[in-house]
Amino acid sequence: MEEIKRPIVYMCFSTDIIHSAHIAIIEKAKALGNIVIGALPDEIIASYRRFPIVPYDERVALYKNIKGIYKVIEQKTWGYKDILRELKPDYLVHGDDWKEGFQKPIREEAIQVLNEYGGKLVEFPYSKDKKYDELDAVFRRQLATPDMRRSRLRKLISMKSCINAIEAHSGITGLIAEKTTVYQDGKAYQFDAMWLSSLCDSTIKGKPDIELVDMTSRFRTVDDIMEVTTKPIIFDGDTGSLTEHFVYTVRSLERMGVSMVIIEDKTGLKKNSLFGTEVKQTQDTIENFCAKISAGKKAQKTKDFMICARIESLILEQGMEDALTRAFAYVKAGADAVMIHSRKKEPDEVFEFTKRFREHDKVTPIVVVPTSYNQVTEEEFKQHGINVVIYANHLTRSMIPAMKKTAETILKNHRSFETNDMCMSIKDIITLIPEE
């Protein structure tokens, strides 16, 4: 009875390892009352930091077993508003690191809510010990290992139901995909995965997107990206080539830690889909393409690797019935996901496909590449039952005009002075990539 009457001391934890700094804070907080720990869900931790190594249930068990913890509950949002209003703790304990930087608005909101009912904020000095950064680096390296990286795409899809991926074609674009974070309305946003586009991998090499850049070179790009990132990779496998070749591609990608390969149901000389019917393109037969999918599924060694069948019927103007017939046949042949491609300015045909596909299949993930109908938001795609949204070419397309402008400015002025404001400073560029 005595225990229950003590003040409630609330702390939020997102850590997947308990180290001496946590213990030190807990020791101090204990003096204030009964400690209640709020555990953040995996999805929220991944949105502002990195994917947790220890899953939610195990983290809760870990926190419960810390000596002196009264209770562990779920904190469903990154911000403290809801949990503070619900629990009304006497004290909110936090490290003082959130006074500045991206957590500042979260702190301000928490103070406001504490003031509503007379709760107090207690801030302890945040431990800046280098060894904790090293521990985090060890965890990040763990996330980058092939097994952990490969399996994460499936986990993310089931966790969030709709995920996004951005194109990456080099180490630096991989880093942009990995690290870019936006804070908005008390939430953090990051990309979930990376798309290794054949269009962009070819464009970067000044080559057309016709399966000319060979697999050895494409794998080299994957390796460059993997070396500096941890997020899952979706590989654009074009037509998958001959079935006899595709099985080797599947094994190589799987071994490297790629999560998903997407192959399109075209045959012969492949041209980029955004040309549509303006160029000659041949769709494969359902029978052949199903055989390719099945052979790929048989070749893979893990249960995590995914083969996604990309349907080109709408691109090639073969109609909705053809697209749906193919989708069901490909899933039956073993496809783990389907991608429906369209180059229309409106999403209507994609939504019609999704609606009719979902009448018969509620589970197979649907992938879209909204390059031409890019007015649609991720939330709308999610409402329509779409699971993966790929921004397929945006880093390449934004980079080229910037570089062209710089080149033209130098030629026009016969010196580079006028490009100063267009360029990153030398100091910034040399410190952009820290040495390990």
- Residue numbers at the binding site for ligand SPV (CB under 6 A): 197-199, 236, 272-274, 369, 371, 392-393
Helix (H/G/I), strand (E/B), else coil: 145: coil
Instruction: Return the residues of window 232-251 that contact Mg ion according to CB under 5 A.
Output: 236
Residue 236 or 336 with smaller CB distance to ligand SPV:
236
- The reply on whether position 313 binds Mg ion by CB under 5 A is no
Helix (H/G/I), strand (E/B), else coil: 381: helix
When CB distances are held under 5 to 8 angstroms depending on the partner's kind, the choice from ligand SPV, Mg ion, none that residue 273 binds is ligand SPV
- The reply on whether position 281 binds Mg ion by CB under 5 A is no
Residue 15 or 173 with smaller CB distance to ligand SPV:
173
Residue 197 or 267 with smaller CB distance to ligand SPV:
197
Beta-strand runs (E) in 168-253: 181-184, 187-190, 193-196, 233-236
Stretch that binds Mg ion, among 122-130, 180-188, 198-206, 419-427 (CB under 5 A): 198-206
Supply the DSSP string of 24-50, one letter for each residue: HHHHHHHTTSEEEEEEPPHHHHHHHS-
Q: Which of 209, 236, 238, 284 is catalytic?
A: 209
Long-range contacts of 352-355 (CB under 8 A, 24+ apart): 352/320, 353/314, 353/320, 353/323, 353/324, 353/327, 354/384, 354/385, 354/386, 355/384, 355/385
Supply the DSSP string of 238-263, one letter for each residue: TT--SHHHHHHHHHHHHHHT--EEEE
**Among candidates 187, 189, 208, 188, which has minimal Cα distance to 199?**
208
Question: From edge to edge, which strands make up the β-sheet containing 69-74?
Answer: 69-74, 34-39, 8-13, 91-95, 120-124
Residue 113 or 262 with smaller CB distance to ligand SPV:
262
When CB distances are held under 5 to 8 angstroms depending on the partner's kind, the choice from Mg ion, ligand SPV, none that residue 399 binds is none
Minimum CB distance to ligand SPV, residue 369 (Å) = 5
Q: CA 372, 378, 379, 383 torsion: positive or negative?
A: positive
When CB distances are held under 5 to 8 angstroms depending on the partner's kind, the choice from Mg ion, ligand SPV, none that residue 371 binds is ligand SPV
Residue 44 or 340 with smaller CB distance to ligand SPV:
340
Tokens of 384: 């329509």
When CB distances are held under 5 to 8 angstroms depending on the partner's kind, the choice from Mg ion, ligand SPV, none that residue 274 binds is ligand SPV
As a whole number of angstroms, the distance between CA 367 and CA 340 comes to 6
- The reply on whether position 198 binds Mg ion by CB under 5 A is yes
Minimum CB distance to ligand SPV, residue 194 (Å) = 12
As a whole number of angstroms, the distance between CA 393 and CA 195 comes to 9
Minimum CB distance to Mg ion, residue 204 (Å) = 13
> Could you confirm whether 428 is annotated as catalytic?
no
For residue 53, CA distances in Å to 245, 351, 373 come to 35, 36, 36
Minimum CB distance to ligand SPV, residue 388 (Å) = 13
Minimum CB distance to ligand SPV, residue 327 (Å) = 17
Minimum CB distance to Mg ion, residue 161 (Å) = 25
Residue 267 or 371 with smaller CB distance to ligand SPV:
371
Residues at the contact surface with Mg ion, assessed by CB under 5 A: 198-199, 236
Active-site amino acid positions = 209
